[in-house]
Amino acid sequence: MSEGISGVVNELLVQMQSFDEPTIGSRMRGAVIDLVNRMLPEMKQFKKRPPVSSNILVIGATNRAADLDPALLRPGRFDRSISFDLPSRSGRREIIDYYLQRKAHVPELDREDRRDQLAAITLGYSPVMIEHLFDEALVWALRSNRESMDWTDVHQAKMTEEIGLKQPVEYTDEDRRTIATHESGHAVVAYLVGVGRKLEVLSIVKRKDALGLLAHSDTEERFTRTRTELIAAIQISFGGMTAEELFFGEAGTGPGGDLASATKIAAQMVGSFGMAGTLVSFDAIEPGPVSMGIVGKVLGNDDARRAVERILDRAKGDVRGLLDANRDLVEALRDELLRFDELVGDEILSVLHKAEAARERANK
């Protein structure tokens, strides 16, 4: 494979080198004229055509610039490199305005706050991905015999794009209750500790390998995280497992992905970010014969592994106390999920606010 790629690169370099060289035809024509001119007196000799000068602009594009052969980028070949990053939030907002002018939608999506929310939830999207998101949202609308997409259609389209299509699976009553409790635990912890986070979708509908999910995002576009925010992310990961333990006495196999996510964050805190009592960076370790990421490096060190375990144990203990004191919120969300299968945006907050209001009335 690598030999084939190398051959392509070499051929490209040869072709680029030959742009300013005479063609075979012009060289042969010049040789014939030279031969004839030797047999003619100077006054009757043929004149050679002046070389034709052409301005040739070579443009190349790749989404894997780091893998390019350095020979391609030397001066005299590709002289200028221009990088195009994914659009910022303001850029995405302009792209959203552009495409919504051309696609049928309800008046709600013309509101400034909705447009801003669309820009917020499409972090990491390219212009083509945003266009495809709206196309998919229109498909959802047409399935409901509507000609215009609404906010819920956009959310469903986003879930389809990022996670996968809904899969019609008939859960047992026990499984449905377990999954609803698990996802409600995530949502309640995110609601209580996820400062600056927006709850987007809470679902017990199977999509690919996910039996259910909580989708949440930053209310503002962020590029750095504090230690408090990373701990909150770990706590949110433990919300599902802890809710299962509180309501059923033990957790099932569902939290596997949550544990992996929490472990990765804790390992980065210990080995990369200096947030666990040591300033030693495991990223500084030179790669050996076997490539190993930061998680493998940290967990392969006994002291660092113990530091990871302390972070995880403390976070899980805090979540246990948090959910135990807010069981009513978990129950309220669980019951609504069992009733509707999926809650979107303000629907989640509405359930939580009603449960909090009911608690206040009961305590008076």
CA separation for the pair 148, 115 (Å, rounded): 16
Active-site residue (options: 42, 170, 183, 220): 183
Average pLDDT of the chain? 85
Q: Give the pLDDT confidence of 225-239 residue by residue, as tens digits.
A: 899 999 999 999 999
Give the three-state DSSP class for 272: coil
Domain annotation for the chain: domains and CATH numbers: 2-73 (no CATH), 89-162 (1.10.8.60), 173-363 (1.20.58.760)
- Residue 325 identity: A
Task: Give whichever of 41-50, 223-232, 279-288, 316-325 has the largest mean pLDDT.
Answer: 316-325
State mean pLDDT over 194-211.
84
Neighbour-count burial of 26, counting CB atoms closer than 10 A to its CB (0-12 exposed, 13-18 middle, 19+ buried): middle
**Is pLDDT above 70 for 25?**
no
Give yes or no for a contact between 305 and 299, defined as CB atoms under 8 angstroms apart. Answer: yes
Confidence of residue 53 (pLDDT cuts 50, 70, 90): low
HSE-up of residue 314 (Cα within 13 Å, Cβ side): 10
**Is pLDDT above 60 for 1?**
no
Of residues 161 and 323, more confidence is placed in: 323
Residue 310: per-residue pLDDT: 95
Residue 170: per-residue pLDDT: 82
Q: Give the pLDDT confidence of 76-129 residue by residue, as tens digits.
A: 777 778 888 889 889 999 999 999 999 999 999 999 999 998 998 898 899 999
Cα–Cα nearest to 205, from 238, 183, 174, 236: 183
Asked about 183 being catalytic, the answer comes back as yes
**Is pLDDT above 70 for 190?**
yes
Of residues 69 and 264, more confidence is placed in: 264
State mean pLDDT over 61-72.
76
Confidence of residue 11 (pLDDT cuts 50, 70, 90): low
Give yes or no for a contact between 318 and 345, defined as CB atoms under 8 angstroms apart. Answer: no
pTM of the model: 0.75
Exposure b/e, 138-147, CB count within 10 A at least 16 = b: bebbeeeeee
% of the chain beyond a pLDDT of 70: 88
CA separation for the pair 285, 287 (Å, rounded): 6
Task: Give whichever of 14-18, 86-90, 264-268 has the largest mean pLDDT.
Answer: 264-268
